[in-house]
Amino acid sequence: MSSSPPIVITGFMGSGKTTVARTLSRALNCELVDLDRFITEQTGRSPKEIIEQDGEPAFRTVETDCLRTVLAGELAHVIALGGGAWTIAANRDLIHEYNALTVWLDVPFSLCWQRISASGGKRPLARERDQAHSLYLSRRPLYELAGLHIEANEGLSDQEAAARIASALTQR
């Protein structure tokens, strides 16, 4: 287990988890792990490919395995989850075992959708606006379980979001 607890960033697809996590990891001078990227490196396939070829349940198994590996790593780190990872109870239990600071980047659906649709079909679970919106609404109560809630609309810069997280860390 790493010496200082990890910071785990969650939020819907298109909420800017990776960008905020990168800014934060630079500010704290610690390692950043983007779980989707880690999955791609470990399996040779992107989350999109795994979901399309093997289905979502198979992807969730891979995701949990990779999350376990990342959390067990030696270095203190900032972890950006994929948007569905936190919604799985087993993943939340795992994250709690490591005493992580968990952060929900709460971004309005319109902004998430703008980014999702601009990313060109990268997200198989959000192909249609209505489908994505239902998922967004159904996941909110689960994101609310995160320790720190950051309302991140267009008015909040990545630096400001990262500064809020860093400040919450010092108050733990």
Amino acid at 97: E
- Cβ pair 32, 22 in contact under 8 A: yes
> Is residue 6 near ligand S3P by the rule CB under 6 A?
no
Among the listed residues 7, 8, 13, 33, the single contact to ligand S3P using CB under 6 A? 13
For residues 139 and 135, what is the distance between their CA atoms, to the nearest angstrom?
A: 6
> Is residue 84 near ligand S3P by the rule CB under 6 A?
yes
> Is residue 123 near ligand S3P by the rule CB under 6 A?
yes
Minimum gap (Å) between residue 67 Cβ and ligand S3P = 11
> Is residue 16 near ligand S3P by the rule CB under 6 A?
no
Length of the chain: 172
Both tokens of 48, joined, read: 């999109």
Both tokens of 138, joined, read: 């159904």
Both tokens of 58, joined, read: 């198979």
> Is residue 166 near ligand S3P by the rule CB under 6 A?
no
Residues that bind ligand S3P (CB under 6 A): 13, 36, 47-48, 51, 82-84, 123, 125
